Structure 1
Amino acid sequence: MNNPTLDKTSQETYLDNLLQQCQANSPVIDAEYLQNLRKNAVSQVKELSLPTRRDEEWRFTDLSELYQLEFKTAKPEKVTQQIADIFILPEAQKSCIVFVNGQYVSELSNVSALSTDIYVGNLNNLSDTQKSKIVKYLGKQEGEKDAFTALNTAGFKDAAVIWVNPNIVVETPIQLLFIAVASDTPTLIQPRTLVVAEKGSSLSFVEYYGRLEQCSDVIQNQPYFTNSVTEIWLEDNAQINHSRIQRELANSFHIGKSAITQNQDSRYTCNEVNLGAKLSRHTLQILQNGNQTETHLNGLTMIDNQQISDTHSAVLLNHPYGVTNQLHKCIIDGNAHGVFNGKIFVPKPAQVTSATQLNRNLLLSSKARINTKPELQITADNVKCSHGATISQLEADELFYLQSRGLNETDARHLLIDAFAAEILERIPVNSLQERLTQCVACRTVDA
């Protein structure tokens, strides 16, 4: 058990208290399908239990500190345009929507650069016609049910929505900005995102989780808990490049789930970077729902001190000629603990499949830890698949070589760490974001 004092009854009480918080602060919803969605989620929460280290999928991730805190639903907070501009990418100044503590802020959002063939906004502002289309997608992703996802659905107030009409190519990168504002009490924030790319469409978007401390002698910034859910649908021949950036406060908790369904000939790329939070967990579930479907997963985790970062992914290749490539890197320093568990399923129907998976880990201190478990489950007989994991430290001969070329030991270490991270960061399609994250990695390397 995670926490010896948190028995089964206590866990049920804790989860019920979180559910009551969500229900007490949720707005009245007129749409019948949303009422039913929330009602079903409430029933799921009551049937499910919170994960512990006795659960196979959570055995390396200790949630006891999370369970010791009594969270209240986050209240609206005022964020100025000047502060929001710190997080908004230059390429997305007129294609960005902003949520603060999970609530849409229209005055900080600007989508004037986008055509009428694409909707970028919040769920509550959809037209009646658009809302009728949402029914097919919202809350309809397949996959395992879990308490955190059900809790998000039971209590979500609004959602970020991207909807691209058929055969529309969106050249401008879109940013979904979620700002968490710390307060004097532990708070629960539940962002929700829905992205639908219709047949033949193409887009690139950034899902960015930033944080804001309140500087005051009166307010002591307490931990907050971001519980996010993102649903992405790609219809036939659609293409999405998705960059997911997590930079929460150092004392916060972040548990996120991304569920993606790809139809025939679609192409999905995820560039994931995890830098913040005391404890973070991201679960990726991808269903290839058609022939000749491509999935590319690129990930970077950089943690130090006492941070815990857990990445779980599952790719289901259910049709012939599927392709998936995954490369996830971890840079771990101090007493930090990284976890990677990637699964690729290749059943009998998925003939002529190509799948590769690699987890590379760089440990910078003697107390840094990594638990890695890449998995391939194959029953098809005409496939090309490989998987593996590496755990290493900085190579002495590489340090020696750089020092022989005039660098001191510290600069040589920084150069090697930056190069290790660059392989992932260079795949991010938004230049300013790539540069910003490169600088962030460099700064953390110097601080270390």
Structure 2
Amino acid sequence: MKAELLKRLIPMRKEDFCNLQNHTHGSLSKQEIPNRQMEAWQFTNINRLKMLTLVEAEASSSNIPKYLPLLPEVAEGTSRIILASEIDSVTVLDLSESIEQLTKEEIMENLGDILDATGCKHHWPVTLNYSHVNYCIALKVKKNMNGNLEIVHIPTQTGIQAIRILLIVEEDSSLCLNQVTLGQGLQLSSLVLEVFLGRESTLNHGLLAFADSEAGFLGHISVLQESNSNYTFTSVARGWGVARIEPRITQVSGNAKTVLRGLQVVEGNNQIDTHSYISFEGPEGELDQLHKSIADDKGHSIFNGIIRVPCLAQRTKASQLSRNLLLSSQARIDTKPELEIVADDVRCTHGATISQMQEDEIFYLQSRGLDVKQASTLVKKGYYQDILNTLPNSSNVWNPLERIMQVDSPLLGLHEN
């Protein structure tokens, strides 16, 4: 990659973060680390999370070159950015003309505003990210343009690895964004993503998060939607020792559409949380949310979804459903969909189910010649597929269904020989 392209893509380097980091280090030291007395953290494995925050980083050296041959080919028509912890380890492959970098001035003007507007600027995971991040990827999709982008975060060292992304999708433009986050060993991957969607814009956003059962992941996704914008977010997570995915979306003037899809698979001693918060700040907004989980062995799946509909958000249509499969008597599922409604002219529903694999489904498939294992596999595939179908097409090169179904680590194909 040419050095001048790297310089244009990432105008905000570590030295530009010095004042910000000095401030947030102070904020982090004053801020109470999450504990189980806090309602939002009552089920999280705090001890495992604390342990990962204390792991020291190895001497920084880019391991990206040795990973490059192991990555799947990038989807046709898609730009790929590969990230590590240090700016010198960033690789850019064929950045589309529809996508351009923000200037340092634009970054300083916008960075943190979306977090503030969605009410999470001072949340502990965000402050942790601020205090460890070394650079910011800041991009915009130009007005009346279409783009396809993939951002891959590859593990290169132990300890906290913080990634910060600012994305502006301008008016009448669209983007398919596929993010891939990988974790291996004693790492804590920290992602803070801020997204602004202009009027009549569209973003189809996928997040594939896979690890080897030790690593941790904190993913904070903050989105502001202008009117007539469309945002689809699909997250697929498996293999994390502890993970917490937090999409927070605000429809700033209503009349926008949000689609959320989530799938988390926990086994062994894994724990994966999803905590969503959607706020309607104007009339005639729409939300369609479906979250699924499968818990096996001693795995623990957590879902908490809050929908806020104040008085000014009349004629809101919102649907939220949490569906869960419990495959082991030692596994655990906690699910809590919530509605906070003040407006009186709305159509809002929510619900949750926790069940085991239906014996009649297995029996029916056995009657068609499948053994128990084959029948169980087929049922799982059907359970996963409607979530996977909403991922951006560019995610297909990562074989998400295969990684979810794989008996061993979902990092298949990414281990060195």
Above 0.5 in TM-score? yes
- Could you say which residue in structure 2 is the equivalent of 1:205? 177
- Could you say which residue in structure 2 is the equivalent of 1:154? 131
**Structure 1 pair 337/28, CA: closer, same or farther in 2 (3 Å)?**
closer
- Could you say which residue in structure 2 is the equivalent of 1:44? 27
Q: Which of 88, 111, 114 is the aligned partner of 1:138?
A: 111
Q: Which of 215, 226, 236 is the aligned partner of 1:252?
A: 215
Instruction: Give, in angstroms, the shift of residue 278 of structure 1.
Output: 0.6
Please tell me whether the aligned partners of residues 198 and 225 of structure 2 are also in contact (alpha carbons under 8 angstroms): yes
Q: Deviations over 1:401-446 (max 9, x none)?
A: 1111111111001100111011101111215527601111222399
State the one-letter code of the partner of 2:155. A
Is 1:71 the equivalent of 2:55?
yes
State the one-letter code of the partner of 1:208. V
Q: Which of 163, 180, 193 is the aligned partner of 2:155?
A: 180
- Count of residue pairs brought into register by the alignment: 394
Please tell me whether the aligned partners of residues 254 and 280 of structure 2 are also in contact (alpha carbons under 8 angstroms): no
- Tell me, in whole angstroms, the C-alpha distance in 2 between the residues paired with 1:151 and 1:79: 24
Please tell me whether the aligned partners of residues 98 and 179 of structure 1 are also in contact (alpha carbons under 8 angstroms): yes
**Structure 1 pair 298/361, CA: closer, same or farther in 2 (3 Å)?**
same
Q: Deviations over 1:26-77 (max 9, x none)?
A: 97525xxx55544543343233111011100000112112324522245433
- Could you say which residue in structure 2 is the equivalent of 1:277? 240
Q: Deviations over 1:9-39 (max 9, x none)?
A: xxxxxxxxxxxxxxxxx97525xxx555445
State the one-letter code of the partner of 2:149. I
- Could you say which residue in structure 2 is the equivalent of 1:398? 361
- Tell me, in whole angstroms, the C-alpha distance in 1 between the residues paired with 2:319 and 2:86: 36
- Tell me, in whole angstroms, the C-alpha distance in 1 between the residues paired with 2:217 and 2:266: 14
Which fold has the larger relative contact order, with Cα–Cα distance below 8 Å and residues 6 or more apart in sequence? 2
- Could you say which residue in structure 1 is the equivalent of 2:407? 444
**Structure 1 pair 388/96, CA: closer, same or farther in 2 (3 Å)?**
same
- Tell me, in whole angstroms, the C-alpha distance in 2 between the residues paired with 1:278 and 1:41: 26
- Could you say which residue in structure 1 is the equivalent of 2:8? none
**Structure 1 pair 96/434, CA: closer, same or farther in 2 (3 Å)?**
closer
Corresponding residue SS for 1:152: helix
Corresponding residue SS for 2:155: strand
Give me the TM-score of the superposition, normalised by structure 1.
0.82
Corresponding residue SS for 2:110: coil
Is 1:230 the equivalent of 2:196?
no
- Could you say which residue in structure 2 is the equivalent of 1:356? 319
State the one-letter code of the partner of 1:198. E
State the one-letter code of the partner of 2:85. N
Give me the TM-score of the superposition, normalised by structure 2.
0.88
- Tell me, in whole angstroms, the C-alpha distance in 2 between the residues paired with 1:169 and 1:28: 31
Q: Deviations over 1:344-372 (max 9, x none)?
A: 00010000100000000011111111000
State the one-letter code of the partner of 2:327. L
Please tell me whether the aligned partners of residues 161 and 194 of structure 1 are also in contact (alpha carbons under 8 angstroms): yes
Q: Deviations over 1:148-202 (max 9, x none)?
A: 21121133211222211112122xx2111100135xxx51111111111111111
- Could you say which residue in structure 2 is the equivalent of 1:53? 36
Aligned-CA RMSD value? 2.3
**Structure 1 pair 282/92, CA: closer, same or farther in 2 (3 Å)?**
farther
- Could you say which residue in structure 1 is the equivalent of 2:15? 29
- Could you say which residue in structure 2 is the equivalent of 1:215? none
Q: Which runs of 5+ in 2 are unaligned?
A: 1-11, 411-417
Please tell me whether the aligned partners of residues 216 and 242 of structure 2 are also in contact (alpha carbons under 8 angstroms): yes
Corresponding residue SS for 1:258: strand
The alignment-based identity, stated in percent, is 30
Please tell me whether the aligned partners of residues 153 and 182 of structure 2 are also in contact (alpha carbons under 8 angstroms): yes
- Could you say which residue in structure 1 is the equivalent of 2:145? 168
Please tell me whether the aligned partners of residues 346 and 377 of structure 1 are also in contact (alpha carbons under 8 angstroms): yes
**Structure 1 pair 334/391, CA: closer, same or farther in 2 (3 Å)?**
same
What are the equivalent positions in structure 2 for 1:406-445 lying under 5 Å apart?
Answer: 406-430=369-393, 433=396, 436-444=399-407
